[in-house]
Amino acid sequence: MSTTSVPGSLPAIDAADGTAVRVIAVASGKGGVGKTNIAVNLALALAQTGESVLLMDADLGMANVDVMLNIRPQYDLYHVITGEKTLDEVIIEGPLGVGIIPAASGIGRMADLSVHEHAGLIHAFDEIGRRVDTLVVDTAAGISDSVVSFSRAAQEVLVVVCDEPASITDAYALIKVLSLEHGIRRFQILANMVNDAEHGRRLYARLANVAGSFLDVSLGYVGAIPLDERLKQAVRQQSPVLLSYPHSPSGVAFQVLGKRIKGLPRLPAASGHLGFFIERSSKAQQVAGGVRP
């Protein structure tokens, strides 16, 4: 596997076609709007299109991906950081061949990682021994350091909104912070729990209007997932709706979403990095052996 790197980030793993790994951070600002369901089902939908997918649980406070998939990881990112395990050793083979990276439950905040731990992670991603086309990252609610770091590392920041005033205002606050303080200009908006397609477009329009008036950002619309009792049922059964009820309204919508995300233009290799934990720590790169040309 070939790797590339630029200053300030981890080496990117090249996807099968020679482009960078597409890192998609699923974020929302407000909690409980459907991020984990979207991350899990999007990862599966992309796998259905033939992509090789990794799904990373970056909700460090409350790891949810393992609950949703009914898996009980013995090891997680924490063991990678401490050097007890390689990344390959903690990846769990999920449905449809999706590799699951369990959350680092032993760590409160990514920002608290030491230089030594940063270095361990650089090495871990460098050594990953599998083809990766897309890495889907399920982030925590709020605008914590970890959400910022994952969003900065992503090619696509997928902002999930639903029809609640706090969802729209929190999504706006997230976009504002990421754009003004971290230079992220491009966002993809996904409406969740909508009644119909028009409902989703209206939510997008509300957010796009206010963002367009006050921020220098570009918001794309990648569609909507309907409010679906089958999805709730699937959550209770700890089986993703795409697998348990593929013909349900949300199951079908996730398949459409997967194709749409797959169709988004891939950015050049230098833009896609797994450099979540390193951006602010040049010292850590020196520990890891420096940035290669």
Instruction: List residues near ligand ATP by CB under 6 A.
Output: 28, 31-37, 59, 64, 141, 192-193, 225, 227-228, 231-232, 235, 250
- In the complex, what is the shortest distance from the CB of residue 162 to ligand ATP, in angstroms, rounded to a whole number? 8
Q: Is the Cβ of residue 32 or residue 50 nearer to Mg ion in the bound state?
A: 32
Strand spans (E) along the chain: 3-4, 12-13, 22-27, 53-57, 92-93, 99-101, 134-138, 156-161, 186-194, 218-226
Using DSSP, state whether 92 is helix, strand or coil.
strand
Closer residue to Mg ion, CB minimum distance, 36 or 179 = 36
- Could you give the 3-state DSSP secondary structure of residue 149? helix
Amino acid found at 26 = V
227 binds, among Mg ion, ligand ATP, none (CB under 5 to 8 A by kind): ligand ATP
* Minimum separation from the CB atom of position 189 to ligand ATP (A): 15
**Nearest Cα residue to 167 out of 6, 27, 30, 26:** 30
Residue 228 binding partner per list Mg ion, ligand ATP, none, with a CB distance cut-off of 5 to 8 Å that depends on partner kind: ligand ATP
Q: How far is the CB of 11 from ligand ATP (least distance, A)?
A: 29
Q: What x/- string results for residues 23 through 62 when contact with Mg ion is judged by CB under 5 A?
A: ------------xx--------------------------
Which residue number, 114 or 195, has a Cβ lying nearer to ligand ATP?
Answer: 195
Residue 125 and residue 110: Cα distance in Å, rounded? 16
Binding partner of 190, given Mg ion, ligand ATP, none, CB within 5-8 angstroms per partner class:
none
> Are residues 232 and 224 in contact, defined by beta-carbon separation less than 8 angstroms?
no
Alpha-carbon torsion 69, 33, 26, 16, what sign?
positive
The per-residue DSSP string of 16-68 comes to TTSSBPEEEEEE-SSTTSSHHHHHHHHHHHHHHTT--EEEEE--SSS--HHHH
Nearest approach, Cβ of residue 151 and Mg ion (Å): 15
CB of 177 to ligand ATP, least distance (A): 17
Tell me the site size for Mg ion, rule CB under 5 A. 3
Query: Which positions ≥6 away from 9 have C-beta within 8 Å?
Result: 153, 273, 274, 275, 278, 279
User: C-beta of 235: minimal distance to ligand ATP in Å?
Assistant: 4
| Partner interacting with residue 141 (select from Mg ion, ligand ATP, none; CB below 5-8 Å by kind) | ligand ATP
Minimum distance, C-beta of residue 236 to ligand ATP, in the bound complex (Å): 8
CB 80 within 8 A of CB 121: yes
85 binding Mg ion? (CB under 5 A): no
Q: Can you tell me which of 64, 134, 155, 188 binds Mg ion, judged by CB under 5 A?
A: 64
In the list ligand ATP, Mg ion, none, the entry touching 32 (Cβ below 5 to 8 angstroms by class) is ligand ATP
Q: Which is nearer to ligand ATP, 42 or 119 (CB)?
A: 42
> Binding residues for Mg ion, per CB under 5 A?
35-36, 64
